[in-house]
Structure 1
C-alpha cells in the first residue's frame, strides 16, 4: 500500500508519516516548503506540493499513483479564517475539489480530515449522523469541503476530529498542556474558559484512526477524537495536577470574557462508538495524553 499525505509538515502529518513508516507502508509526504521531518532516522519520499494549484495537484497524484490519499492540510486558525476568508476558501474548499478530482481520476481512496466546528455546539456530543450548522467561516469552509468529498464518484472517508494536541520537533504552535505548564512554572495566573466543552484528541490517536480507516478502506464518516468531555478549565486543572503545579493560579471564566473575531460552538464533543466498533479505535485518556506529551518533551531531538 502506498499512502500520500498532504500537510506532512503539520502536527498530524508528522505523526502519520512516523506511524506509517513504522508499519512498513510506503509513504509519500507532501507539504508546502521544505521537509520538516528530517529527524526520522529513515528514508521516505518527500515532495513539495501547493494544494491550491490544480495542475500541480494532478501532476503529483499522477506521478505517485497512491492507493490512498490522507488529506490533513488546512487553514485551521479559526480567527484567521474569519479575517482571511478568500485564503481560507482556497485552502479549505477549492484545494479539496482539486484533490478529489485527482483521486477520482487516478483511483485513490480519499480520506479527508474535518472538524467539530461544522456544528453549532447546541446539542453535543455529536454522532456521525448529526445535522451540521456551523457558526464560523472556518466551520462553513470545512462543511463545504465535506460536501465536495461526499459527492465524489470515488471511494472516500471523512475523519472528523476535535482539539488535537501533541508535540513534534520544531513545532510552530504550542498546545494547552504545555502552555499551562509554562505559565504555572513562572507563577503566572491563568483565566480558562469553563463553558465550552470538547473531547480533546491526542495527535497519535488521530493518526492511528486515520491509519485504521486506510487499512480497512472503511468508507463513510467517522468521529475520531478523545472520549472525555472537558472544558479548557478542566484540561488546565488536569495538567496542573500532573506536573504538581499550583492550580490556585487557574481561574475559571466564561467565553464572554474574551473578544474573538470568530464565534465558537459552546459544546461539541463526539460520540465515537462507530469508530470503536468498525475500526477498533480506542483513544487514550487525557491524563494518559499528558504523560505521553511529557515523555516526548523530554526526548525531543536537540538538533
Structure 2
C-alpha cells in the first residue's frame, strides 16, 4: 500500500484502546486524524460525535482510507444512568460514521464488546447469536447493526475487558480493582463468579492494524 493511502480517521483516540491504536498506526507510517472530546491531548482534534454535520464534515475533509470507531460509552453503570447519552454515542454516532464512509467509499472498523452476549457459553464463535443482558450490550449491538447496514466492507471487532497503560486507575476494569485492594479501612463487594478474558490494548491495536491492511487490500480489489 502506498504511504499516501495510509490515512486513518480514529475516534476515541484519547481512550485506553484509542491511544494504543494511535501509537501502533503512527509507528507503521500512517497519517492519523484522531478525535477526542473531553481529553483532547496534543495532536488530537476535538469532535462531538453526536453532531452529525460536524462528523461528516471532519471525515470528508480528512479523506481517510480507513476509519476505526473506538469512541463509546463503555461503562455499563453510566449507560444506565444516562441511556439517551449512551444511545447518542454508541448508536447514533456509529450511524453517522457508517453513512459518511459509505458516501466516500472507505471501510470502517467498529470496536464492539463481548457484552453483546449473555455469558452463558463462552468463548463465542463469529456466528454466535448475540443476546445482551444489559443496556450497554444492547446499545453496542445496535451500533454493530448500523455499522454493517451501510457501506462496503465494514467490520465489527468484539473485544473483551481491556487493560494496559492507564491515565487513571478506574480507566480499566482490571486496574480499577486496585482501588478495592487499597481501601483496607472498609469492606467492599467484589464479584467472585465472573470468568473474563482480559486483552492487552497493544495486542488489540496490532489486530486492528492487520485487519486494516487486509481489508484495504480486498476492498480496493472489489
Alignment TM-score, normalising by the size of structure 1: 0.64
Matches within 5 A, 1:215-254: 215-217=213-215
Aligned to 2:11: 6
Q: Larger C-alpha radius of gyration, 1 or 2?
A: 1
Q: Is residue 23 of structure 1 aligned with residue 33 of structure 2?
A: no
**In 2, Cα distance between the equivalents of 1:34 and 1:174?**
13
Residue by residue, what CA displacement relative to the aligned partner does 1:218-239 show, whole Å, maximum 9, x if unpaired?
A: 79xxxxxxxxxxxxxxxxxxxx
Shift in alpha-carbon separation, 1:176–1:31, aligned structure 2, 3 A: closer
**In 2, Cα distance between the equivalents of 1:110 and 1:209?**
14
RMSD (Å), alpha carbons: 2.2
**In 2, Cα distance between the equivalents of 1:88 and 1:33?**
15
Q: What's the secondary structure of 1:112's corresponding residue?
A: strand
Task: Give the conservation status (yes or no) of the 8 Å contact 1:113–1:161.
Answer: yes
Residue by residue, what CA displacement relative to the aligned partner does 1:138-187 show, whole Å, maximum 9, x if unpaired?
A: 1111111111112223221111001111124x447343554455655675
Aligned to 2:57: 59
Q: What's the secondary structure of 1:70's corresponding residue?
A: strand
Matches within 5 A, 1:84-123: 84-123=82-121
Gaps of 5+ in 2: 1-5, 218-222
Q: What's the secondary structure of 1:52's corresponding residue?
A: coil
Gaps of 5+ in 1: 39-43, 220-303
**Across the two proteins, how many residue pairs are aligned to each other?**
211
**In 2, Cα distance between the equivalents of 1:27 and 1:174?**
23
**In 1, Cα distance between the equivalents of 2:24 and 2:35?**
16
Alignment TM-score, normalising by the size of structure 2: 0.86
Residue by residue, what CA displacement relative to the aligned partner does 1:109-132 show, whole Å, maximum 9, x if unpaired?
A: 100000111111122221111001
Task: Give the conservation status (yes or no) of the 8 Å contact 1:61–1:106.
Answer: no
1:155 to 146, 153, 156: 153
1:206 to 178, 199, 204: 204
